[in-house]
Amino acid sequence: MTIMTDSAHETVAGTVGEDVRTVHRLRVLDEHKRQALCGAGDPDGVTDVWLRAVNCPACLDVHEVA
């Protein structure tokens, strides 16, 4: 599996808030802060990194430009 990332931020797969079924692509902003590419969840909300395939259609549709 290849995940395209921009040069500034790593992206990981994970869930946002209470919804543990939808796996988003999360942009790693800093050690403690991650933001779903599709904008799901609260910007300051809890995220959990999972070793699972991303299944959020909106996140899969995001094409980042380096």
The residues that touch Zn ion, with contacts defined as CB under 5 A, are: 24, 36, 38, 40, 56, 58-59
**Residue 28 or residue 56: which is nearer to Zn ion going by CB?**
56
> Between 28 and 40, whose beta carbon lies closer to Zn ion?
40
- Residue closer to Zn ion (CB basis): 8 or 39: 39
Give the nearest distance from C-beta 40 to Zn ion in angstroms.
5
How far apart (Å, rounded) are the C-alpha atoms in residues 52 and 11?
13
